[in-house]
Chains A and B, each alone.
Chain A
Amino acid sequence: MTISPGAQPPRSTDSLEYTVSTTTSRRRRGVRAAVAAALATALVAVTAACGVTRGDDSADIDMWIPNSPGGGYDQTGRAAVGVLDRDDITGGDIQVTNILGAGGSVAMSRLMGEEGNERLMMTLGLGVVGSTYSFGVDARPHDATPLAQLIEEQEGVLVPADSPFETIDDLVAAWKKDPGSVVVGGGSSPGGPDHLFPMQLAKATGVDPKDVRYVSYDGGGPLTSALLGHKIQVGFSGLAEFEGQIAAGELRVLAVSGEERVAGDVLADVPTLTESGIDLVFTNWRGVVAPPGISDEARDRLIDDLTRMHDSPEWEQALADNGWTDAFTTGDDFEQFLREQDERVSTTLKELNLL
């Protein structure tokens, strides 16, 4: 939530405050006072909930999150802001705003419209890149100001415990025999990481991605229950949300998608795709960008802030708690990375005739 005086963007908050204060100034009759009081309480509650209580706001920053509370970007963005805040790295308040819509492309196109705003950052990742394509929004992430890539998350190939597929080879064999006989699912809509991964895997193993029967679920929860209830045979998803199920032995992981195996006792035994002889490395990643057209000075300051955040022990703890892999690159390297990712997403979607 975002209504809080003193934070960016000023326009919206000012107009809100104005509305409320005019209502208050007109209190003549008791009944009106009741309304005013209700509205004032509302405002107080909102501001209190946002935790904004300070005067000087010259160093305040906004962090936009392109999806809803509890989602992946939200967790990464809020974790980063938490560390920035606790160590007072930016020297001001950081306000988190969730901007929902069209898989992140609404936030992306609004970020492009904030040209030159030096007190704004946005979390983004592979899913946002995909959604700009599938929702037809012409906003390329590398055209914003790339600040830093923060984390990487491997995708995994999940099956229920009693699945006939014992290894990734079993799945590939069944796929090659009859792609339509294997129903797969993922927690993202077409264009998202969980959709791109099986498609690229199919292509890498010589199966036409167009023949893959993919069911999209609304996030990890519904995907897990579809797997547990044997509605689908194979699930593709980031593994952080599934560690509990895997540790309990209800789901098995056939392979992980990264360059190296995942650390930690639950997943250390799971081979990578490359180990299994499949030439594919696929990771979901998240990072931070700023609006286009900001000064080099502002860009360097933000990158510096993020670097200090990355070097803190609190961030290390946040990575461990959430099962994220550290993947920190900044500035031009990150921009180069964004270009490659953009290219890769658009190629995959074109092959599927989704573009």
Chain B
Amino acid sequence: MENLGLLWDGLGAALTPMNLLYAAVGVLLGTFVGVLPGIGPAMAIALLLPVTFGLEPTQAFIMFAGLYYGGMYGGSTTSILLNTPGESASVMTALEGNRMARAGRGAQALATAAVGSFVAGTIGTLLVAMFAPALADVAVEIGAPSYFALMVLALVMTATVLGASPLRGLLSLFVGLTIGLVGLDLNTGQPRLTFGVTQLVDRLDIVVVAVGIFALGEALWVAAHLRRKPARVVPVGQPWLGREDLRRSWRPWLRGTAFGFPFGALPAGGAELPTFLSYVTERRLAKRSATKGRGTEDEDEFGRGAIEGVAGPEAANNASAAGMLVPMLALGLPVTATASVMLSALQGYGIQPGPQLMTEHADMVWTLLASLLVGNLLLLVLNLPLAPLWARLLRIPRPQLYAGILFFACLGAYATNLDPFDIALLLVFGLLGMAMRRFGLPVLPLILGVILGPLMETKLREALTISGGDPAILWSEPLAVAIYAVLLLVLVTRPLLSRWRSRTESRIVAEAETEAVTEGSAR
């Protein structure tokens, strides 16, 4: 393993006291930036650029690396505690994470997020170190048709999360897809559902929608019931990750990593889809083991704060952050805003990003990878003890707590663009969220509609523009064909399988059948 040897040398270079200090500063700043709404890692690195011009490239990159992973982790803290995801990658974490926090298990949620991020980040970084050039060559072969197939798969999997009433679930999904339509048509420039408002032509930011519906909707709902319902104090749980939590977390961590890393390595992968796929997978698996009656303590907790629903998506989130380094280091491609800021920083040092980066500036690349590992470890050391402290934040009395949440949500919406319009938008989605709670509509399908709709549309139209409108292009790539084949197989065999099972195992008929009919997707 030649690469491991190089990584070892990199570790030697990264582990000087000064470099460790820079890594620690980066991690700390990154965590702050992640916790603050409205500033992403890209913005933070851009702000730091002038400061780092005085530093050696290696040191600057060590700091950036810490900032990047720190920011990815920090985003989960507000998601879990305040239900206000700071970036699209931590939207899924908010779902179960916040439920856990309100059930007095905030410390565990934060801890499983921290350890999951560490595990995923470490595995991801090691994978980058070993396979980056080979992976990058494969990744560029994945085109719009394969992305589209992946979205179709994800959409079918949303069937799992439609909730108890499929009608309400679908209603919510279509509201989400409609919200996803808002903005300028990509090919013709035709405004859709913008009502002449300039701020709407850019499509709605998923973070504003999610924070509006999760946090603001929740706050308004609570406010509406404040006098009628007795205050429910958040119980005080134990402050650390118990053996049972660990037992339930380690598989989701690994599965999340397996989802996140390949997506991150794709040139247009992103973290939204893998976090979602990880969430849905964990939910299905939990349900399956619950219906099978195997492992009784594994009762399906989803919707009430299941640790698997935090561990999986958080790992997926960080693994995709690591995967992003593949196109960046192996091809010099800036596939995310953060990567393009880091690459422009490279140019500032007179280093030309490109395919030669890993050969011509090998020292720097390996030190960077090594410092990512170090930063990851520092992040864990820093955040694990902090988790119980953060979790106590929820013991603030409700009026003050929700006031704080509202403040944070508005600050985040305003800070990205300094435009009061975004706060108004947030309020509109808050009211929508409150109405959905009032009428028992599940919010998750809506969020998925907002995420999946625009992605699907972009990729479908990209594919069709390339082919000149010929739909045959949609199954022109091997990966796309494979996905459709699996999907078809599952859709066809699953009803048969469950019918056969219901005959043999009459004990679980009642539960399995309703499940199987409403959901037809991969297990």
Contact = CB atoms under 8 A, between A and B. Distances in A.
Interface in B318-353: 327, 331-335, 337-341, 343-344, 347-348, 350, 352-353
B186 A74 contact: no
Contacts of A245: 331-332, 354-355
Contact of A69 (B337, B353, B411): B337
A203 interface: no
Interface in A221-243: 221-222, 224-226, 228-229, 231-232, 241, 243
B352 A45 contact: no
A306 B30 CA distance: 34
A248 B356 contact: yes
Interface in B191-224: 191, 198-199, 201-202
A135 B340 CA distance: 25
Given A46-B39, A50-B47, A102-B198, A229 B143 contact: yes
A114 B81 CA distance: 39
Contacts of B246: none
B417 A225 contact: no
Nearest to A26: B400
Interface string A29-45: 00110110011011001
Contacts of A110: 419
A39 B411 CA distance: 11
A69 B418 contact: no
Interface of A: 1-3, 9, 12, 16, 19, 23, 31-32, 34-35, 38-39, 41-42, 45-46, 49-51, 68-71, 74-75, 78, 82, 85, 97-102, 105-106, 109-110, 134-137, 180, 183, 189-191, 213-216, 218-222, 224-226, 228-229, 231-232, 241, 243-245, 247-248, 250, 321-322, 354
Chain B at the A interface: SS class: helix
B33 A49 contact: yes
Interface of B: 29, 32-33, 35-36, 38-39, 42-51, 53, 139-144, 184, 186-189, 191, 198-199, 201-202, 267-268, 327, 331-335, 337-341, 343-344, 347-348, 350, 352-357, 392-393, 395-397, 400-401, 404, 407, 411, 414-419, 462, 465-466, 468
Contacts of B344: 70, 75
A228 B198 contact: no
A42 B335 contact: no
A228 B141 CA distance: 8
A191 B189 contact: yes
A46 B418 CA distance: 14
A135 to B, nearest CB: 5
B388 to A, nearest CB: 13
A1 B350 CA distance: 26
Contacts of A50: 47
B267 A1 contact: no
A35 B465 CA distance: 52
Contacts of B462: 215
Given A216-B186, A231-B466, A225 B392 contact: no
B35 A42 contact: yes
